Amino acid sequence: MDATILLAAEGLSRYYSDQCAVDNLDLQLQKGEVLGLLGPNGAGKSTTMQMLTGNLAPTTGSIQINGIDLLEDPRQAKRHIGYLPEQPPVYRDLTVNEYLEYCAKLHGLRGATRTQAIHFARERCSLNEVQHRLIANLSKGYKQRVGIAQAILHSPVVVILDEPTVGLDPLQIREIRKLIRELGQEHSVILSTHILPEVQAVCDRVQILNRGRTVFNDSLTGVASLEKVFFELVYQEDPALADEEAEV
């Protein structure tokens, strides 16, 4: 595996009975890259994310994280992954500090290393002013920040974010997008979204999925009009999706 390729999936498929959610997908993430996994709802993005993070076994295919086979050595491979699912895995009855302390212990961080990791994640995600507040009392935007903080606590080489701005207000969306751009300077990031401007705002490369298959894969500098490509490859099959995207 090339040292610059931190995540590589080949021939990835996932079936639910006779229903194919992901169909023979190839995906690579390079060092220092922010990859946008773009597609309409139901395109197979979340299923792909769950397979890449080891939370769902693929029906066929292979996944390597930083040169480690995820299926053969999942515990070691997952040490190199930070993951924020669509619903942040936070405990509402803990304060921000208590939750990050708990997550750091799960990652095996101890002593000064744990203290420094919590401080860094809290600082990076702008959580210092709410560190003593119960998570239940935070806005959704701050809950997303807590979710991202737990994903980067152990300094993973790959950070995977599934629909990180869904349900946020416009100000919160801008703040989370800014945070993702900053994360891309220190980690390699995969961002799953059905929102076209999200990819344009934060990503270096886009991989478009539709009905479980890759229909486009290129750098943002390599495509003159992403809107045109997205419309032609996805929306022309279901014009109703264009109206939904316009509302977003």
Q: Where are the domains of the chain?
A: 1-80+159-248, 87-155
Per-residue pLDDT tens over the stretch 105-142: 999 999 999 999 999 999 999 999 999 999 999 999 99
Which pLDDT value is given to residue 40?
Answer: 85
For the cut 50, the answer to whether the pLDDT of residue 149 exceeds it is yes
pTM of the model: 0.88
Q: What is the homologous superfamily of the domain 1-80+159-248 according to CATH?
A: P-loop containing nucleotide triphosphate hydrolases (3.40.50.300)
- Contact of 86 with 163, CB cutoff 8 Å: yes
pLDDT confidence of 237, banded at 50, 70, 90? low
Q: How many CB atoms lie within 10 A of CB 148?
A: 24
Cα 180 to Cα 122: distance, rounded to the nearest angstrom: 15
For the cut 60, the answer to whether the pLDDT of residue 188 exceeds it is yes
pLDDT confidence of 197, banded at 50, 70, 90? confident
Which pLDDT value is given to residue 245?
Answer: 46
Which pLDDT value is given to residue 3?
Answer: 59
Q: In the chain, pLDDT over 70 holds for what percent of residues?
A: 91
Per-residue pLDDT tens over the stretch 48-90: 999 999 999 999 999 999 999 999 999 999 999 999 998 889 9
Q: In the chain, pLDDT over 90 holds for what percent of residues?
A: 67
Lowest mean pLDDT among 51-55, 146-150, 241-245: 241-245
